[in-house]
Structure 1
C-alpha cells in the first residue's frame, strides 16, 4: 500500500566558487560549492502526481582539513491534488567546526493517512475493539503544516562534543479528517478522539519550544559517512507562554555508528542506527506525537509509509550493510537493510516493545560526486501485512 513510483531526470553542476589553488583560508569562507538540481516527477496515492525540483547543495565554510562539509537538501513540489510540499533542511559547519547550525524548515499543504496509536494498528479501517466508537486503521487527513526548527551548537574546546540551544515550532492547521466514500460507519477519528481526551484544539495545533542539545559529531563526512559515530541528546520544553496549545516536554535520543569492513574499500561497511523519541511530561497534539518517518530527513521506517505508526513513545533501530558494486570504482554501490520499530501509548495502554514491526529491503546507489560523496539512493523496503514502498533520495539514509 502507498507504493510510490518516482521517475527522476537528473543532472549536476559542479562549480567551485573559489579557485581550487587558494591556500589562504578566511574564516567562514565558502569553498567547494556544488549544486545538484533534480527535476522530479512522482506519483503516490496520497498526493496523485507530483512535479517540481529537489535540489541538493554541499560546500565548506573553512579550511577543508579542519572543516566538515556542509549540506542542504530542498524540495519544491506541486501535486495534481493541489498540494504544495516545500522544505529546506541543512547541516552547516562554520570554520574549523567551531559552530554547527542545523535547520529544518517546511511548508506543506498536504494530506496523509493516519492509523491510530500504537504498534498494533491494522491497515484497513475498522472500529477499535478497545475503544468502541473510534476508528482504527487507515484514516485520511488533510492539513497544512508549518515547521521552523533552527539549532545552534558550540564546539567544546577542540573536542568532538557540542552543546547548544534551538527553537522548534510546528503549526498544524486546517485539519480535516475523512474516510473513503464506500465507508458508511460514523465513528470518531483517532486524531479527534485523542485531542478531545487531552483537551487539545481540533482545528489548529501549535507546538512551540526550546531545545537543550548535546551532540557528538565524529563522522568523517556527515552526508555519507564511512566511519566513526554520531550521537544526539535533545530535551525539548514546549511552554504555553511560547504559543503551545499545552505545556509539554520531550526527549530525543539518536545514535549512529559506522564500522568499515575493509581498510582499502571504506565504502564496504556496516552502519547501525538507534533512535528514541519520548513524551516526558504534559500532552502533545496527535499530529506532533512521535511517528515513523518523521526524523529530520524522513528516512526511518523503510518498508512503511510515513506516519504509519504513532504513539507517545517510540523506539527505532536499523542496520544496513553497504558495499561497492565495482572492483576499482566507486560509482555504483548496493545495500541491504533491516529495521524494527515499537510504539507505546498510554491512551491505548500499549507498552513499548509489546509489539515490534520489522522491515527489510535492498537498495542501489549511484555516487555522482566522489569528492563530496553525493549519492543518489534508491531503495525498496518491505514491512508486515503487505506494507512496502519505494524510496528515492539524495545521500545515504543515515
Structure 2
C-alpha cells in the first residue's frame, strides 16, 4: 500500500529501468547536465555510471543511504541494496531490477521491503514481486467522502505483504498475467482522542485481518521510459479475487484500473502534459478495513498529493490528475511541474462522519476533494531521465503536504 520515497542521489541502477537502446545525441540543444556531471566537476567523483556502464552479462550492485519525507512518515532514514542486470546476451532487453530497503521514521515506523521487476529474453515474460513488512503507527479519518480532519484517530498495525505476478506477452505491447496476493495485518489498535467509537469500531474492530487471493490482469506499457516518460501511455486492468478458502478473513473482489497518458507539447524545454486516471472498486463481500481503497493506497503511494496517506477511505476510490511539466534550464538540470487532482470515495452507510441528513440518502452523498500544487525537479541521471522530485500540495479542508520522490509521480 505504501511506496516509501527514496531520496538518494545514487539510485542509478533502478533509475535505469526504462533505458534500452541508445539514441543519437540531439545536436540542436545544449549538452544535457545532471548531478553526476556536477559531482565530477566539483568533487571529481562520478556519482552515477554512463549509459554503457552496465555489462550485459554481469549484475550491478550498490548499497545506498536513504533519506525520505512524506506527511505520513515525516523524516525517515535507512539504506537500500539495489541490483540491476540484463538477461544473458540480450543487452537491448529492458533492464531487470531489484531492491531491498530498510528504514525507520521519526514517527517510530519501521519499513522493510523487497521489490523486483524481472524481464526475460525478447520481453516474453515480466515477473514482478512486492514483499513488505511494516510496523506502522499512523492516523485514520474514518470512512466515506465527508470525513473531516477532526475525525482523526490513531491506528497502529503490523503489515506483511507478499505479491507475486507473472505477465506473458500476447501481442504488440500487450501482456496477460496472473498472480497471488497476500496482505496480513496484525496487532491492530485504534483509539480516538476523545475515547468515542470510531468508524473502525463500527465497521467491525478486529485485531488482525488477512486478504489472500489471486489476480488476473491486462498490461500495456508504451511509455518507453517509465521513470520520466516523454510520450506514450500505460494501462493496467486487474481483477482480484480474495477468499476464505485461500486463508483470508473474508470473501471479496476488486477491480483495479490504472491509465496514464503523456502528450508532448514540444519545444527545447521538453514541455509536456501528463494525465492519470486511477480507479479501484471493491464488491462481493466485507473488505478488511486496512485493505479498503484509500488515498495513497495505490502500488507506489503517489495518489492524492495535497493530502496525507489514508485521508479518505471507502469501498471505491476514484482519482484523476493532470500535470504540466517543463524544464527550467535548457541543459535539463532543473525543471518544474504544476499539478491538479481530484479524488472521491463512496460512502459507507455505517459511518457517523457523514453529513447530518436522512440516512436513506447518505450513500448517494459523495464529495469530490480537489488538490493542487507544484514542485521542482533536479536531474539525477540524464541517461535514464531520472529526476529528484520535491512537491508541495494543497488540499481542501486545511490539508497540505510536502513530498519527496525519485522519478516522476506517474
Relative to the length of structure 2, the TM-score reads 0.80
Give 3-state SS (helix, strand or coil) of 1:245's partner. coil
**Is 2:238 the partner of 1:234?**
yes
Aligned to 1:139: 153
Aligned to 1:343: 345
Whole-Å separation in 2 of the counterparts to 1:337 and 1:352: 29
Whole-Å separation in 2 of the counterparts to 1:353 and 1:221: 40
Aligned to 1:376: 388
Residues 263 and 109 (structure 1 numbering): CA distance in 2 closer, same or farther, change over 3 Å? same
1:333 aligns with one of 332, 335, 338: 335
Whole-Å separation in 2 of the counterparts to 1:257 and 1:346: 32
Aligned to 1:161: 174
Whole-Å separation in 1 of the counterparts to 2:184 and 2:114: 16
1:89 aligns with one of 96, 115, 119: 115
- Cα contact 1:40–1:54 (8 A) shared by 2: no
- Cα contact 1:38–1:55 (8 A) shared by 2: no
Residues 346 and 9 (structure 1 numbering): CA distance in 2 closer, same or farther, change over 3 Å? closer
* Larger helix proportion of the pair: 2
Q: CA deviation at 1:164?
A: 0.7
Whole-Å separation in 2 of the counterparts to 1:48 and 1:371: 31
Where do residues 44-59 of structure 1 align in structure 2 (5 Å cutoff)? 50-53=76-79, 59=85
Whole-Å separation in 2 of the counterparts to 1:41 and 1:218: 30
- Cα contact 2:78–2:104 (8 A) shared by 1: yes
Whole-Å separation in 1 of the counterparts to 2:63 and 2:233: 27
Whole-Å separation in 1 of the counterparts to 2:395 and 2:163: 30
Single out whichever of 286-295 and 60-69 deviates more from structure 2: 60-69
Residues 97 and 241 (structure 1 numbering): CA distance in 2 closer, same or farther, change over 3 Å? same
Number of residue pairs the alignment of both structures matches: 361
Q: CA deviation at 1:105?
A: 1.8
Q: How much is the aligned-residue C-alpha RMSD, in angstroms?
A: 2.9
**Is 2:392 the partner of 1:392?**
no
Q: CA deviation at 1:51?
A: 2.6
- Cα contact 2:113–2:130 (8 A) shared by 1: yes
Q: Give CA deviations for 1:36-95 in whole Å, capped at 9, x if unaligned.
A: 834326586x65653313566655446788523444465321235543112233433333
Residues 119 and 57 (structure 1 numbering): CA distance in 2 closer, same or farther, change over 3 Å? farther
Whole-Å separation in 1 of the counterparts to 2:349 and 2:335: 44
1:40 aligns with one of 51, 64, 67: 67
Aligned to 1:3: none
Whole-Å separation in 2 of the counterparts to 1:362 and 1:42: 16
**Is 2:193 the partner of 1:191?**
no
Residues 353 and 230 (structure 1 numbering): CA distance in 2 closer, same or farther, change over 3 Å? farther
Whole-Å separation in 2 of the counterparts to 1:30 and 1:150: 25
Give 3-state SS (helix, strand or coil) of 1:37's partner. strand
Residues 384 and 393 (structure 1 numbering): CA distance in 2 closer, same or farther, change over 3 Å? same
**Is 2:367 the partner of 1:367?**
no
**Is 2:381 the partner of 1:355?**
no
Relative to the length of structure 1, the TM-score reads 0.82
Give 3-state SS (helix, strand or coil) of 1:287's partner. helix
Q: List alignment gaps of at least 5 residues for structure 1.
A: 1-5, 125-136, 197-201
Where do residues 256-267 of structure 1 align in structure 2 (5 Å cutoff)? 256-262=260-266, 267=270
Q: Give CA deviations for 1:298-353 in whole Å, capped at 9, x if unaligned.
A: 011000000000000111010111111112x1221111100000100343565578
- Cα contact 1:68–1:221 (8 A) shared by 2: no
2:129 aligns with one of 103, 116, 128: 103
- Cα contact 2:146–2:366 (8 A) shared by 1: no
Aligned to 2:141: 115
Q: CA deviation at 1:239?
A: 1.1
Residues 8 and 255 (structure 1 numbering): CA distance in 2 closer, same or farther, change over 3 Å? closer
Aligned to 2:218: 214
Aligned to 2:277: 274
Aligned to 1:317: 320
Whole-Å separation in 1 of the counterparts to 2:107 and 2:78: 14
1:248 aligns with one of 252, 274, 277: 252
Give 3-state SS (helix, strand or coil) of 2:149's partner. coil
Whole-Å separation in 1 of the counterparts to 2:186 and 2:216: 27
**Is 2:57 the partner of 1:14?**
no
Give 3-state SS (helix, strand or coil) of 2:200's partner. helix
Q: Give CA deviations for 1:263-310 in whole Å, capped at 9, x if unaligned.
A: 655x42111000110012111111100001011110110000000000
Q: CA deviation at 1:394?
A: 1.1
